[in-house]
Amino acid sequence: MASIVAVKDLQKVYGDGFEALKGVSLSIRKGEILALLGPNGAGKTTLISALCGITTPSGGQATIGGHDILSEYRAARAMVGLVPQEVSLEPFEKVINTVRFSRGLFGRPRDDAFLEQTLRELSLWDKRNNLTKELSGGMKRRVLIAKALCHEPQVLFLDEPTAGVDVELRRDMWRTIEGLRQKGVTIILTTHYIEEAEAIADRIAVINRGEILLIEEKGALMTRMGRKSLRIELDDPIDAVPAALAAYDLELSPDGHFLSYHYKTGGEGTGITRLLQALAQAGLSLRDIHTSQSSLEEIFVGLVREDAA
Ligand SMILES: Nc1ncnc2c1ncn2[C@@H]1O[C@H](COP(=O)(O)OP(=O)(O)O)[C@@H](O)[C@H]1O
Ligand SMILES: [Mg+2]
């Protein structure tokens, strides 16, 4: 699939000398949902702000739909919609006018039918004549999405769209995002909710301290996540894994008391029954067994911790 956003070695050093992006490279495919996952301060907002022309990068390059974000700013910017992290709306303006005005800013001809459809899809049509200050926090977030969509962007950036949003609205937003993807919109969403990335993303990128640590298909990551371990405690310690058990790829603890066996939960069989039989045949007697599962959360926390070391 063709890449619609291409980022190469993008850097951002803030005025105080702080390096918020240390050479970020990524390629975003047309029509995918990419979740950018990272702890607070990782550089997520800085990256999105640079791509949307809100902050100027200090080095590197990026293109959107083939347009350079600096030398072809207007063409690049016209392709993107941004739902910012902070809610910022004109308090005394009606919802419908806020959205209509945003479309006009992009030089798009007036299209009331399109605006109506957008507001209806976001359950905002009934509120179109309300002043934005009269809306609840969740409704304000929807207005931000409507504003970002009103010039029909091909790429939508959502910066923590569901931060502080209740569970029901979060699910509504996930549905909205999925609906946009079905229309061919490419979506880049930042979050620090791992569950959110799991629920809707095609690919997951992890960013920490201004660097991309990994970018991987969710499915592949979930397969890794589906790994479980069986830890077998032996009655009597052993010096080495018996040759008869070589096929199981067991790990022996340094004290010789524990054997660890890793298996996939999604696979056809875990091999546990055969392993236990083989252990008995090898004359080993077991004191106890424990299982543990690695989750995406553990993978993520582990990555970030390793990166900090
Ligand atoms: N205008 C600024 N001047 C100096 N440092 C900033 C500025 N904006 C953000 N930072 C710093 O850059 C880092 C990344 O911030 P940000 O991109 O907002 O992270 P995230 O969105 O992942 O939480 C943080 O350490 C933040 O304090
Ligand atoms: Mg942020």
Highest mean pLDDT among 86-90, 125-129, 273-277, 293-297: 125-129
- Residue-by-residue DSSP string for 220-242: HHHHHHTEEEEEEEESS--SS--
Mean pLDDT of 219-239: 84
Confidence of residue 307 (pLDDT cuts 50, 70, 90): confident
Quick check: 90 and 101 in contact, CB under 8 A?
no
Tell whether ligand 1 has an atom less than 6 A from the beta carbon of residue 273: no
Q: What average pLDDT is seen over the chain? A: 90
Task: Record the pTM.
Answer: 0.80
Amino acid identity, position 264: K
Tell whether ligand 1 has an atom less than 6 A from the beta carbon of residue 73: no
**pLDDT at residue 46, as a whole number:** 97
Mean pLDDT of 26-34: 96
Residue 5 φ then ψ, to 5°: -125, 125
Q: What is the CA radius of gyration of the chain?
A: 25
Distance CA(250)–CA(198), nearest Å, equals: 30
What is the whole-number distance in angstroms between the Cα of residue 265 and the centre of ligand 2? 35
**Torsion angle of the four alpha carbons 87, 137, 206, 22, in this order, in degrees rounded to the nearest 10:** 20
pLDDT at 304 over 80: no
**pLDDT at residue 265, as a whole number:** 66
pLDDT at 58 over 90: yes
Q: Name the closest ligand to CA 41.
A: 1
Confidence of residue 305 (pLDDT cuts 50, 70, 90): confident
Confidence of residue 5 (pLDDT cuts 50, 70, 90): very high
| Best mutation site among 10, 11, 14 for ligand 1 pocket (most ligand atoms within 8 Å of CB) | 14
pLDDT at 1 over 60: no
The secondary structure of residue 246, as a DSSP letter, is: G
Distance CA(53)–CA(86), nearest Å, equals: 16
pLDDT at 164 over 80: no
**pLDDT at residue 197, as a whole number:** 87
Confidence of residue 306 (pLDDT cuts 50, 70, 90): confident
Q: Where are the alpha helices (DSSP H) in 131-231?
A: 137-149, 167-182, 194-200, 218-225
| Structural domains of the chain in order of their starting residue, each with its CATH number | 3-223 (3.40.50.300), 227-293 (3.30.70.1560)
Mean pLDDT of 168-187: 89
Name the residue at shortest CA distance from atom 24 of ligand 1. 41
Q: Where are the alpha helices (DSSP H) in the chain?
A: 44-51, 73-78, 95-105, 112-121, 137-149, 167-182, 194-200, 218-225, 272-281, 296-308
**pLDDT at residue 202, as a whole number:** 95
Distance CA(295)–CA(171), nearest Å, equals: 22
Residue of higher predicted confidence among 118 and 291: 118
- Residue 203: strand, helix, or coil: strand
Dump pLDDT digits (tens) for 86-126: 888 999 999 999 999 999 999 899 999 999 999 998 889 99
Tell whether ligand 1 has an atom less than 6 A from the beta carbon of residue 101: no
Confidence of residue 17 (pLDDT cuts 50, 70, 90): very high
- Residue 38: strand, helix, or coil: coil
- Residue 296: strand, helix, or coil: helix
Residue 85 φ then ψ, to 5°: -65, -45
